[in-house]
Amino acid sequence: MTKSKSRKKKNNATRKATPPTATKKETPQEDKPDNNKEGISKEEFINQLCSGKKVSASDFELLRVIGRGSFGKVMQVKHTETGKIYAMKTMRKDNIIAKNQVAHTKDEKHILQRIKHPFIVNLNYAFQTKDKLYMILDYVNGGELFWHLKREGNFSEERSKFYAAEIASALLHLH
């Protein structure tokens, strides 16, 4: 068998073992680092930021606000089709641009798209409207660690070790 026939067989075997691209997370054109050097404005860039599965805010029933931040808020929502509960992070584009946080917001989405770890919330969907960006994340019941620490003052040594181990595991996964 010639080298080219051997290569073709190997490539065909690889193609069969590789899932179809529809199930892969694709890297959108706007996530490429050099894209913004081509003269695209921040406003145009942020309008291109979200991509992926076709969903919109109307696909979710708002249940309650669970957090507020400088760009928007986080709400507990229910996907109307599946009944699954998520956290919907909404961010106002004008605030992101005004506070010069376009790159930070892009990085957040880019990183969350690629990470799968039990101690880091998954990004399930990302979409946008004219005025807002949306990230649909796993909903984790229990609240923020800082809220619990503030409420209790101090954690026991055992509980501190538990949280430290979870955080260390997540950080090791990221680096």
**Token match 């969907």: residue?**
125
| Assigned token pair, 94 | 């004008």
Q: Please report, in range form, the residues annotated as the binding site for ATP.
A: 99
Question: Residue ranges for the binding site?
Answer: 99
Q: Are 51 and 25 in contact (CB under 8 A)?
A: no
Each as own residue / partner, the long-range contacts of residues 129-132 (CB below 8 Å, 24 or more positions apart, any chain) are: 129/56, 129/57, 131/92, 131/93, 131/94, 132/72, 132/90, 132/91, 132/92, 132/93
**Beta-ladder partners of 67:** 74
